[in-house]
Amino acid sequence: MKILNKKGFTLIELLVVIAIIGLLSTLAVVALNNARLKARDAKRIADIKQIQTALELYYTEISSYPIGAALQGATLRLGTGIEADCGNATCDTISSANGIKDVVAGTTYMGLVPKDPSTDATSAKCAAGSGAVCDYAYIRTDTSKYDLFFYLEGATGGLPAGLHTANQDGIL
């Protein structure tokens, strides 16, 4: 009787190993995408807090929040460098390209206003009802009140996914 000494793997063994590798790589990609989403949301919250700090410094010295657009009540798209969002006149004290400053005194409170980490030049500015990632937006509703709009892709820091407003009272 002859004993065959076969070396190698059977087709079933190879398919099982390939399936396991495929499953592990799928799980790794899903985990990586989730980590990227959380990193973008963390940056959004950090950006908004920076903008709030600059606005509060401005308010402390001027006793009013910057107008941000040619007319009070107009919303400015932040971080884009697009001046057309200021209306027909030049932005007074806050602009996407020039930051937050007091043009009369020459004081700069924020050099460049940050941009949403995942938007591009074709993205819309955040506004009531925004249901997707959008550019940060600023509006002064009164000399002592403002709203900053931003969108979170996932739940972050106790905030649910979706559109949020930050103002002089904090992040809502």
Instruction: Yes or no: say if 50 and 114 are a contact pair by the CB < 8 Å rule.
Output: yes
| Percentage with pLDDT > 90 across the chain | 18
38, part of any domain: yes
Mean pLDDT value of segment 2-31: 86
Nearest to 96 by CA among 71, 61, 73, 125: 125
Mean pLDDT value of segment 138-146: 84
Buried b (16+ CB within 10 A) or exposed e, 32-42: eeeeebbebbe
Instruction: Check residues 79 and 45 and name the one with the higher pLDDT.
Output: 45
- Give the C-alpha separation, 66 to 95, whole Å: 10
Domain range for 57: 11-171
CA angle in degrees (0–180, nearest 5) for 141-77-162: 85
pLDDT for residue 85: 36
Residue 35: pLDDT over 90: no
The maximal CA–CA distance of the chain, rounded, in angstroms, is 103
123, part of any domain: yes
Give the count of domains, the chain: 1
How many residues belong to the chain? 172
Residue 91: pLDDT over 50: no
| Percentage with pLDDT > 70 across the chain | 74
Residue 115: pLDDT over 50: yes
What are residue 130's DSSP bridge partners?
none
pLDDT for residue 19: 95
- Give the C-alpha separation, 54 to 50, whole Å: 6
- Give the C-alpha separation, 35 to 13, whole Å: 33
Mean pLDDT value of segment 25-47: 89
Mean pLDDT value of segment 148-152: 90
Residue 7: pLDDT over 50: yes
2, part of any domain: no
Residue 82: pLDDT over 60: no
Residue 102: pLDDT over 80: no
pLDDT for residue 30: 84
154, part of any domain: yes
117, part of any domain: yes
